[in-house]
Chain A
Amino acid sequence: MTIAWITARGLLGRRRSWLLLPMPLILIGVTAVGLAFDAPAADLIDGVLLGLGVAVILPLVSLIVGTGVLGSEIDDGTVVHILTKPIPRSRIILSKLVVAATVSAVTVAVPMFVAAAMVGGVKLGLGFAAACVAGAIAYSALFLALSVVTRRPVLVGLLYVVIWEGLLSNLVTGTRTVSVQHFVIKFAAEVSGSSLFATTVSTAVAAVMTVVFTVVGTWLATQRLRSFSVAGETS
């Protein structure tokens, strides 16, 4: 509980976190503009909800938050205060994950619900909101693990989002089975029942892989935190 409290305060107190604020507004704004110009629902779903919301805002928010909950504490050294306590490392990671996933999910799912509901009604809104919550959890676990595995989690995270998900998974459909973005698209289509968009990943694969991302990310982060070494500078 205390870890989550400190994490949340640290996260929301950082200037970088305020970058999150305009993103939901942009999403709703662009949707409103599209509707005002009578754009077809299929175009708005493809261009705004998927192209901007799912492909950009969801991963970006998760990246900022997911690396912010642990990565920045490792960077500035405050993580030592938490590590010098007799707490199982799994509990530290789980607390961080809960905070990261909650903040990301709320930041993304709420505006996604609003934007999607504007385009295609409440059912479409619920579909996107639910899918984004699942996506936020998987992304958070992934970026949390990156924070402990590499010294440059933001860079590696960006590479994954931009190169792997943005580029490769649109060219080579096979890579979609390890792309959170496509799980989210599948969930959104499944929950909303909309036939206006789809992806090649099956529901079963999307569900299983979301769990795999979350579990493996959490497990990996815990393992690495167990053998966490302070940078070996001698002075």
Chain B
Amino acid sequence: MSDLDLRGVSRWYGNVVAVNDVTMNLGPGVTGLLGPNGAGKTTLLHMMAGFLAPSRGEVLIDGDATWRNPAIYRKLGLVNEREAVYGFLSGKEFVRASAKLHGLPDADAATRRAVELVEMADAQDRRMDTYSKGMRQRMRVAAALVHDPAVLLLDEPFNGMDPRQRMHMMDLLHRLGAQGRTVLFSSHILEEVEQVSGTVQVIVAGRLAASGDYRTIRRLMTHRPHVFAIRSSDDRRLAVALMASDSVAGVTLGKDGLTVHAGDYGTFTRALPRIALDEGVRVRQLIPSDESLESVFSYLVSA
């Protein structure tokens, strides 16, 4: 059992702030690091793994800094996003090399255990450049796990996997978390995080936007106010009628039609046709204006 502690961690490149004052504490179990592309997830993971110095703050594993401290790798395993492997080695040789580099007393047994854990025993003697993306990813996980680390970091582990490989990997992460390891994986896809982890850290534009139980965050994401752009035959008349509806929180009347803030997606979209019909207004256009993941995230930041 180990815990990973980030205290006021920032990282900037020149004038660009990639990670801004992030404080979090991760204990045993699986945690998802969720955020849109470019939010700073990889930068954060690199700092956790000791491959980047924080510009400010500190990253600690059980009280020891990860930067410039190779001893930390005794309890840390990393599966980074660049899937570079030594293609000329077989999967088994690759994992075994990891075991040897860790100086494990029984490298063969450790290799066997790790390969079995990721269920790659059948393909272990093939050269790694013949592997599919998912197989390579699993072997890399095996290599990262060969020394039985308490902390495992994975950067976008589901990227480019087919649904079956994805389920496999999710199942594996579940088991690792259940064994009492501190597992952190990054993703920009909510569904992935939801299926694997109990807790979520949401990072947007380098800041920690939300953290906690995924159900709470999921609820925040779907039951948030939605904004619609509407054009109709009589915008003013429709605006008055909409304001009378419970499902509408606000209406702005502009030159190009209405901007409607709805309290809840489902109720509003069901109510709109009825209201329009009652008022004899013809709706020409209805566009939900903030459905991108980024807007979901930015909503979370302000929540």
B45 CB to nearest A CB, Å: 10
| Partner of A227 from B37, B53, B97 at Cβ < 8 Å | B53
Q: Tally of A-B residue pairs with Cβ under 8 A?
A: 89
Nearest neighbor of A228 in chain B, beta-carbon distance: B51
* A235 contacts the other chain (CB 8 A): yes
From 35 to 84 in chain B, residues with beta carbon under 8 angstroms from any chain A beta carbon are 37-43, 46, 49, 51-53, 68, 70-74, 76-78, 80-82, 84
* B142 contacts the other chain (CB 8 A): no
B270 CB to nearest A CB, Å: 39
B63 CB to nearest A CB, Å: 17
A3 to B101, CA, bound (A): 8
Nearest neighbor of B101 in chain A, beta-carbon distance: A85
Interface size counted on chain B using CB atoms at 8 A: 41
* B85 contacts the other chain (CB 8 A): yes
A228 to B82, CA, bound (A): 16
Contact B84 A78 (CB under 8 A): yes
Residues of B within 8 A of A76 (CB): 84
Contact A88 B86 (CB under 8 A): no
Contact A9 B46 (CB under 8 A): no
* A86 contacts the other chain (CB 8 A): yes
Contact A230 B143 (CB under 8 A): no
Contact B70 A86 (CB under 8 A): yes
* B261 contacts the other chain (CB 8 A): no
A5 to B94, CA, bound (A): 12
Contact B51 A229 (CB under 8 A): yes
Nearest neighbor of A9 in chain B, beta-carbon distance: B88
A232 to B81, CA, bound (A): 13
From 71 to 89 in chain A, residues with beta carbon under 8 angstroms from any chain B beta carbon are 76-78, 80-89
| Partner of B42 from A13, A80, A233 at Cβ < 8 Å | A233
Residues of B within 8 A of A77 (CB): 80, 82, 84
Contact B100 A2 (CB under 8 A): yes
A5 to B89, CA, bound (A): 11
From 182 to 235 in chain A, residues with beta carbon under 8 angstroms from any chain B beta carbon are 226-230, 232-235
Residues of A within 8 A of B39 (CB): 234
A84 to B80, CA, bound (A): 11
Residues of B within 8 A of A83 (CB): 51, 70
A190 to B53, CA, bound (A): 49
| Partner of A85 from B18, B43, B82, B98 at Cβ < 8 Å | B98
* A10 contacts the other chain (CB 8 A): yes
Nearest neighbor of B45 in chain A, beta-carbon distance: A230
A82 to B77, CA, bound (A): 12
Interface-central residue, B37, B52, B71, B143, by most chain A CB under 10 Å: B52
A230 to B76, CA, bound (A): 17
Interface-central residue, B73, B76, B144, B156, by most chain A CB under 10 Å: B73
From 39 to 72 in chain A, residues with beta carbon under 8 angstroms from any chain B beta carbon are none
Contact B46 A232 (CB under 8 A): yes
A156 CB to nearest B CB, Å: 23
A3-B101, A76-B84, A78-B84 known; A86 and B71 CB under 8 Å?
yes
| Partner of B49 from A3, A5, A84, A226 at Cβ < 8 Å | A84
Contact B41 A230 (CB under 8 A): no
Contact A235 B101 (CB under 8 A): no
A13 CB to nearest B CB, Å: 5
| Partner of B38 from A78, A81, A234 at Cβ < 8 Å | A234
Q: What 0/1 pattern do residues 104 to 125 of A give for CB contact below 8 A with B?
A: 0000000000000000000000
Q: What 0/1 pattern do residues 203 to 214 of B give for CB contact below 8 A with A?
A: 000000000000
A80-B80, A84-B73 known; A232 and B13 CB under 8 Å?
yes
Residues of A within 8 A of B49 (CB): 84
* A167 contacts the other chain (CB 8 A): no
Q: What 0/1 pattern do residues 1 to 28 of B give for CB contact below 8 A with A?
A: 0000000000101000010000000000
Residues of B within 8 A of A89 (CB): 70
* B102 contacts the other chain (CB 8 A): yes
Residues of A within 8 A of B88 (CB): 9-10, 13
A-B pairs with lowest CB-CB distance, top 7: A77-B84, A77-B82, A2-B100, A85-B101, A230-B51, A13-B88, A78-B84
10 A-B pairs in the complex with CB atoms less than 8 angstroms apart: A77-B82, A77-B84, A80-B51, A82-B101, A84-B78, A86-B70, A87-B101, A227-B53, A232-B46, A234-B42
